[in-house]
Structure 1
Amino acid sequence: MPRMIYDYTKSVLERVSFDPVLFTKELKKAIKNLLPYEVEQLKKWLQFFTNEHPELKQCLSVVS
């Protein structure tokens, strides 16, 4: 079940990536709902994802 939540979180973040404010809001919600090791996985995924979407680089400070 937790894996489904992680995958769902990534899909939500991908869908709202057009708006950095909304992306940050969803990212904060995700951090509250994910397990610690999932947050670490999400950080790695965000590094990759923000390389393709540089306008979202500022959102990385939320997970630091």
Structure 2
Amino acid sequence: MARAMLEYTKTVLSKVSFDTALFCKEVQKALQRLLPYEIEELKVFIESLVQQNPELDQCLIYLEA
């Protein structure tokens, strides 16, 4: 079940990556829902999205906490 949540989160983040504010909001929600090891995997995924869309880099601040 938890793995499904991680995959769902990745899908949502990919779909909202056009809007920085919405992307940041979804990142915050994901950090509340996912398990610690899933958050580490999500960080790698988000960093790859940021390479494709540099404007999303302002959301990285949420991952450093």
TM norm. shorter chain > 0.5: yes
Q: Quote the sequence identity (%).
A: 48
Q: In structure 2, what is the equivalent of residue 31 of structure 1?
A: 31
Q: What is the root-mean-square deviation of aligned Cα atoms in Å?
A: 0.6
**Counterparts in 2 of 1:5-20, with a 5 A limit?**
5-20=5-20
Q: 1:24-50 CA deviation, whole Å, 9 max, x = no partner?
A: 001100000000000010011111111
TM-score, L = length of structure 1 = 0.95
Work out the number of aligned pairs and report it.
64
Q: Any unmatched runs of 5+ in structure 1? A: none
Q: Any unmatched runs of 5+ in structure 2? A: none
